[in-house]
């Protein structure tokens, strides 16, 4: 299992976090999604995955969720 950490700008409220969580949960193998919301800064989103998840799939899910920008992606 791997853990992915995203730094995402533009998340300003609980609804934003819910949209991001919903879109990421549609990626096969993604679980345990957590959004650490920082409305005036870059928010931190983490999730675990059983299968490799491409950066493109993650960026597409975040874009589908709303007008948010993925600043960085790190998978361990």
pLDDT at 20: 98
Q: What is the pLDDT along the chain (76 residues), one digit of tens a residue?
A: 999 999 999 999 999 999 999 999 999 999 999 999 998 899 999 999 998 999 999 999 999 999 999 999 999 9
20, 45 contact by CB (below 8 A): yes
pTM over 0.85: yes
- Identify the residue whose tokens are 């491409």: 54
Give the pLDDT of residue 67.
Answer: 96
* Residue 70 bridge partners (DSSP): 8
pLDDT of residue 62: 98
Domains and CATH numbers, the chain: 2-75 (3.30.70.100)
């Amino acid at each position: 299992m791997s853990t992915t950490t995203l730094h995402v700008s533009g998340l300003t409220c609980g609804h934003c976090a819910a949209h991001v969580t919903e879109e990421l949960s549609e990626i096969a193998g993604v679980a345990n999604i957590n959004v650490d919301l920082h409305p005036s800064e870059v928010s931190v989103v983490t999730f675990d995955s059983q299968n490799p998840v491409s950066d493109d799939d993650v960026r597409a899910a975040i874009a589908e969720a709303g007008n948010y920008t993925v600043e960085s992606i790190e998978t361990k």
